[in-house]
Structure 1
C-alpha cells in the first residue's frame, strides 16, 4: 500500500507542476516518490506501479483530450502510460541484477531520458508533452542541454537521493533549481515590430480589419494557422488585399496559415509569407496533428530571406518537438514567426499547456518567437524563453511587440541536442546488459541447484 501511495504522490506532484496550476518547483521533486516506490521492488510489481503512475499522470494533465477524442482518449492515456511502465520495469530489472552501484542513479536518468526522447521525437505517435523538463520553466541550462537534458538531471538527482547518495542528489537538484529560478535580465529589443493577430476562423476580411487595428509602426504581421484556405496564392484578390494592407501600414511582410494542393489530390498545411512583390517563402507543416486531417507532412524546415532577415515559419505542432525548431535555426533562421491553431473548444488547460512548449524551443535555440494562435495563446517569447507579452485566451485582438534578429547558435543547437539520442542508444545498451546479467544469474542459480 505504501508503494501505491508513493506512486500516486509522484503523479500528483507532477500534475500540479503543469498548467493550469503552474507549481513548477514540484517538477524538481516529483520523481523522488516514484523512484522510492520502485526501489527494491520486483519487476512484476514495478510494471503495475509504472502503469498506475502513467495513467494517473496523463489522465490528470491531458484530460482535455476527452473533449477532442471522446472515449478514445482512454486508449491514448494507456499508450502514453506504457512508457513510464517500461521505465519502471527496466529500473527494477536492472536493480535486481546489478544492485545500486555507484553508477546506478545515472543509469536511471539515462533510461528515463532515453524513453522520454523516443516517446517524444521518434515514436510513430510521438507526443512531447508532459515531461520533467517541460514541467520546469526554461532556464540558464536550457540553451546548453534543452528539455531532455533537464529531465536527465532531475531524474538522476531524484534517483541519487533515493539510492542514499545525498550529496550527488542534492547537488544535481540544486543546480537544476538555481539554473531555473535565478533572475534573468529582461530584453531590450531594437529590431522589427511584429503584430500577431488572434482570432479563430473569422474570415479573410476580419483578419484584414484586425490587422489595421495594430497601433504604431508595424514591420510584419502574423496570422493564425488556417487563416486563409484554400491556397491564398491562388486568389489574386486576396494577395492584392494583403499587399494593400502592407502598403497602407508600411509593413514589409505578412505570414499566414494556408494550404498547398498537390496534383495527386493530397495537400499540405502551409505557412505562406507574402511581401509587396509576392511570395517570400513557405513552410509545410512537418508534424501534422495525430488523427486529424491536417495535410501531408513536410520534410524540410526552410529558413528564407525576407526584408526583416532570415526567418522560419514553423507551424503550431511543429514547435512542440525539439528537432523542428533546431533544424530551422541550423538552417539559418534568425527569427520565428509562427502561425498556430488551438480550437477554443479544446479548453483553456490545453491552450496553456501548449503555449509552454514554444518557450522551451525559443530558449533552446536562442531565438525570438512570435506565435499567432487562433484562440490563444498568442505570445511573444524572448531568446531566454521568457514570455514578454501575450493576449488573453479566446479574445480576438492584435499583439504588437518589438523583437530582435539574432544569428548566434546555442550550444544546444550545435551539440546539446544529442543528449536525447545518446540516451536512447545508452538505454538500449542497458537493456542488453540487464538481459545478459539476468541470464547469467539464472544459469548460475540452476548450476548451484
Structure 2
C-alpha cells in the first residue's frame, strides 16, 4: 500500500508538472509537483527515493526540452540526463536526512534551494529553465514571485516542512504566513519617462547544433527601413541576437547617422585567429559611436562563444539601459547586478529559430514576464522568431505583429527581490558589479 502511494505521488508529480508548463493559467499546479516531491522525501529507503526522483526527472525534462535536439543534436541527451538527475539527488539526500532524525525534515527546504540555485546559477552547465517559478508567468500565479524565483521554491518547501512537524490546527497559520511572504514585494519606482522603441525579426542564430547562420546586410537594411516606416517615432531600434556575423559595418553606422536613431543589434566580437569569439550586442548611437555588451552566460554545449568578462549598464541620452542577451535574462546573477546599478529598463536581443517550434518559444517568452515582475522593471525583448514582447512589471504592453514591434517603453528603477539579497552574500562569486560606461 505504501509503495503504491509513492508511485502515485511520482505520477502525480509528473502530470502536474506537464500541465503547469503546458497551460499558463494552470501554472499554480507546480505547487502540487513540489508537494509530491516533498511527500516522497519521506520514503525510508534513500536509494528507492532517488530512483523515484530519477523517474520523475526522466518523465518531465526530456518531454519539455525535446526541441534541444534541433540545435544541440546528441549533446541534448547529456543535458537531459543532468537535469533529470536533480530530483533524484534531492530525494536521495532528503530521504537520508529525514531518516536520521525526525526534525531533519526542516533541512529539506535548504537541500532544495542548494540544488536549485546550484544548477541555475553555478558552473558551466547552469540552466534555470524548468525550475518551479518558470511555470508562474501568468496572473494570478505570477504574484507568488514577490520573494523572487528562488524565494518561491524555498518558502513553499519551508511551509511543507513546518506542516510536517506542527499540529494540524497550526497549518492555516503556516500557509497564511507563507502566502504573505510570497506575495509581499516593494512597489516599483514609477516615473513618467518613456522611451519610444521598435524592433524587427530576422532569422539568425545557432544552426544544427554545430554552426551559426547570419542575416545579410541587404536584408538587415531592408528590415530596418520597413521597421522605421511602421514605427517612425522610435528612438531606439532593436534587432535580434546574431543578426550580424561581426561588429556593425560602416553602412549601419551611416544609417544611424542619416536617420538619427540608436540601433541595438546582435553580432560577434572576434577574439583571435582560431575562431574564438563573444556573442555580443552592439549599440550604435546617432553619431555612429559603437558600444558593446557580451553575453554573460553562453548556452552550454552550443557554439555560443565565450562568456563576457564584464557587465555594463549603458548610460546615454536614452537613459540607463541594461543589456541581457537571450539566455542571460533567465539568470538572477546577471539581472540583479544590473538592477542594483540603476538601470531603468532591460533590452533583450534574443534568438529563437522558427524550427525550434512554438513550445520552445512559449517557454522562452515566460522569462520576460517573470523577470519583469520579480525585478519591477520593464523588459523589451526582440527575438528572431516567436513573439517579441514589451513587458512592464509582468504586464505585456505590446507584442510583435507582422515581424515588427513598437511602443513606449516605461523607464523606471527596479528592485532586487528578497531571495537575491540573501544569496548574493552566500554566493559572492556569482555577483559581479557592473562596470560603468
Calculate the TM-score normalised by the size of structure 2.
Answer: 0.84
| Relative contact order higher in (CA < 8 Å, ≥ 6 apart) | 1
CA distance in 1, matches of 2:230, 2:376: 27
Aligned residue for 1:213, secondary structure, equals helix
Tell me the alpha carbon deviations over residues 176-200 of structure 1, each in whole angstroms, 9 at most, x when there is no partner: 6675699x99x99641111122232
State the 1:405 CA deviation: 1.9
Alignment match, 2:87: 84
CA distance in 2, matches of 1:214, 1:124: 41
**Alignment partner for residue 240 of structure 2, among 217, 224, 236?**
224
Distance 1:414 1:289, change over 3 A: closer
**Alignment partner for residue 153 of structure 1, among 152, 155, 158?**
155
Q: Is the 8 A contact 1:157 1:172 kept in 2?
A: yes
Q: Is the 8 A contact 2:98 2:105 kept in 1?
A: no
Alignment match, 1:212: 228
Q: Is the 8 A contact 1:272 1:279 kept in 2?
A: no
State the 1:282 CA deviation: 1.2
CA distance in 1, matches of 2:343, 2:162: 40
Q: Is the 8 A contact 1:158 1:169 kept in 2?
A: no
Tell me the alpha carbon deviations over residues 90-112 of structure 1, each in whole angstroms, 9 at most, x when there is no partner: 1110011112x2xx454211111
**Alignment partner for residue 406 of structure 2, among 377, 397, 400?**
400
The alignment's C-alpha RMSD in Å is 2.9
Is 1:261 the counterpart of 2:263? The answer is no
Aligned residue for 1:357, secondary structure, equals helix
Is 1:295 the counterpart of 2:297? The answer is no
Distance 1:304 1:87, change over 3 A: same
Distance 1:149 1:420, change over 3 A: farther
Is 1:240 the counterpart of 2:242? The answer is no
Distance 1:88 1:270, change over 3 A: same
State the 1:175 CA deviation: 5.8
State the 1:416 CA deviation: 4.5
State the 1:33 CA deviation: 2.0
Distance 1:411 1:69, change over 3 A: closer
Distance 1:40 1:370, change over 3 A: same
CA distance in 2, matches of 1:350, 1:300: 29
Q: Which protein is bigger by CA-based radius of gyration? A: 1
State the 1:401 CA deviation: 1.8
CA distance in 1, matches of 2:19, 2:374: 24
State the 1:77 CA deviation: 1.8
Is 1:387 the counterpart of 2:396? The answer is yes
Aligned residue for 1:192, secondary structure, equals strand
Matches within 5 A, 1:22-421: 22-99=25-102, 101=103, 104-137=104-137, 139-140=142-143, 142=145, 145-161=147-163, 166=168, 170-171=172-173, 173=175, 190-201=193-204, 203-215=219-231, 217-232=233-248, 235-244=249-258, 246-247=259-260, 251=261, 253-265=262-274, 266-279=276-289, 281-382=291-392, 384-391=393-400, 396-407=402-413, 409-412=415-418, 415-418=421-424, 421=427
Aligned residue for 1:226, secondary structure, equals coil
Q: Is the 8 A contact 2:24 2:135 kept in 1?
A: no
CA distance in 2, matches of 1:70, 1:54: 20
State the 1:329 CA deviation: 1.9
CA distance in 2, matches of 1:169, 1:308: 51
Count of matched residue positions in the alignment of Structure 1 and Structure 2:
406
